[in-house]
Amino acid sequence: MLTEPHTDYLFPKYVRRLLLVIGGLIFYAQYTIFLLGPVLFDGEPGTRVFSAWITLAYLDWTSPADIRVPHLHLLHPLFSAGVGSLFFFLSATIRRGFLSGLIRLLCIPFAVFMAYAANEARKVETYDYRTYEPIILPFGDNTASIGDSQVEMLLGFTMPLFLCLIMFWVILAITIQPIATALCNRWHRPRLKARGDSELP
Identify whether the C-beta of residue 139 lies closer than 8 Å to the C-beta of residue 42: yes
- Please report, to the nearest 10 degrees, the dihedral formed by the alpha carbons of residues 157, 163, 165, 166 taken in order: 170
What's residue 163's pLDDT?
A: 92
pLDDT mean over 176-189: 66
Q: What percent of the chain stands above pLDDT 70?
A: 80
Enumerate the H helices of 39-74 as residue ranges. 52-62
How crowded is residue 32: how many other Cβ atoms within 10 Å of its Cβ? 26
* pLDDT, tens only, 154-169: 999 999 999 998 988 8
Q: How many angstroms separate the CA atoms of 178 and 94, rounded? A: 18
Phi-psi region of 53 (alpha: psi -120 to 50; beta: other; left: phi over 0): alpha
* pLDDT, tens only, 12-22: 888 899 999 99
Does pLDDT of 2 surpass 80?
no
* pLDDT, tens only, 39-50: 888 877 667 889
* pLDDT, tens only, 47-97: 788 989 998 888 888 888 888 888 888 899 999 999 999 999 988 888 877
* pLDDT, tens only, 93-143: 888 776 777 788 888 999 999 999 999 888 877 766 777 777 777 777 778
- Using DSSP's 3-state secondary structure scheme, residue 9 falls into strand
Total-model pTM: 0.80
Identify whether the C-beta of residue 113 lies closer than 8 Å to the C-beta of residue 161: no
46: Cβ–Cβ under 8 A, 6 or more apart, which residues? none
C-alpha distances (whole Å) from 100 to each of 41, 104, 159, 166 are: 44, 6, 23, 18
Please tell me the total number of residues recorded for the chain in this structure: 201
Does pLDDT of 11 surpass 60?
yes
Where are the domains positioned within the chain?
A: 5-176
The pLDDT-based confidence of 197 (bands split at 50, 70, 90) is very low
